[in-house]
Amino acid sequence: MRGGVLAFASALLTLGAGTWAFSPPRPEASAETHTPTSATSSAAGDRLFLTNAQLTQAIARGTFDRPVKSLLAVPASLHFGDYVWNDRGVPAGPTWVRVDLARQLISVFRAGHEIGTAVVVYGADGLPTPAGKFPILAKLKDHRSATYDAPMPYTLRLTGDGVSIHGSSVRWGAATHGCIGVPLPFAERLFNATKVGDDVVVVASAGQRPA
């Protein structure tokens, strides 16, 4: 019996060490992503064009609810407060926004191409951000919330009861009362890129199909 316990312990140790050793290290973000990047980098290497198979799979899994041609190539995982915006060479077209709560990401698409992405903060556990498709109801540039007595610059109103996308302090461990908070410079760009009526698709979990 003692041998079994020893085997158990050694197995745990070995596998623990193994997973630690073989787990890919969290990619260290380069200075480029630490400081918010703007549309200055070259367009060639900054975009990943999706194949038909990839798109079909993404739509089948519910990742996207409409065709997407390309995604921004983000070299490393974004930190809280980081964003990437690159609409160089992207033609005019229908704009929509995808918010991924499980991955804490927002993506802005224009004419099928992703033009911006950022880390978001979203509703706290007791005040969840609703999932679904919400056309932008109103745009309020210098909004101040009467409910929370707080500035909410570049607000994009999503629901009648006040859920919005707005500029916010995006940091680890922060949450909202149900809104989607984005970094302020990103909020400004998003505000300028969208218009009332554009779709905002909020996806709660990775596999969930937006309503």
Partner 1 sequence: MTIAIPSPSRVRRRGALAVGLLGIAAALSVATLSNPWLGHAVGEGIKDSLHGMQTVAAMLAERSPGARPEGALTNLKHKRQAALQERAAPSIPAPPTAYEALAAPPPVLPVAPLPEAPLYTTVAGGPVAPVTPGPGGTPGGPPILSDIPLPGGGGGGGFTPPIIPTVTPQVPVVPAVPVPEPATWTTMLLGFALIGRALRSRGRVRLRPVGG
3-state secondary structure of 52: helix
d(CA 176, CA 123): 4
| C-alpha to C-alpha distance for 13 and 150, rounded to whole angstroms | 50
For residue 110, give the DSSP letter: E
Contacts (CB under 8 A) with partner 1, residues 40-79: 48, 50-51, 53-55, 57-58, 61, 63-64, 68, 71, 74, 76-79
| Among the residue ranges 8-16, 148-156, 159-167, 194-202, the one whose residues contact partner 1 (CB under 8 A) | 8-16
According to DSSP, residue 159 is labeled S
15 binds partner 1 (CB under 8 A): yes
- Give me the amino acid identity at 2: R
Q: How far is the CB of 169 from partner 1 (least distance, A)?
A: 11
Q: What is the DSSP letter of 146?
A: T
Q: How far is CA 180 from the centre of its chain?
A: 10
By CB under 8 A, residue 150 contacts partner 1: no
Q: Is 18 in the site for partner 1 (CB under 8 A)?
A: yes
DSSP class of 49 = E
Gap between the Cα atoms of 194 and 171, Å rounded: 24
Nearer to partner 1, 79 or 88 (CB): 79
Looking only at Cα atoms, what is the longest distance across the chain? 71
By beta-carbon proximity to partner 1, the closer residue of 78 and 157 is 78
CB of 96 to partner 1, least distance (A): 15
List contacts with partner 1 (CB under 8 A): 1-5, 7-9, 11-12, 14-16, 18-19, 22-24, 48, 50-51, 53-55, 57-58, 61, 63-64, 68, 71, 74, 76-80, 100, 102-105, 107, 117, 119, 122, 124-125, 171-173, 175, 206
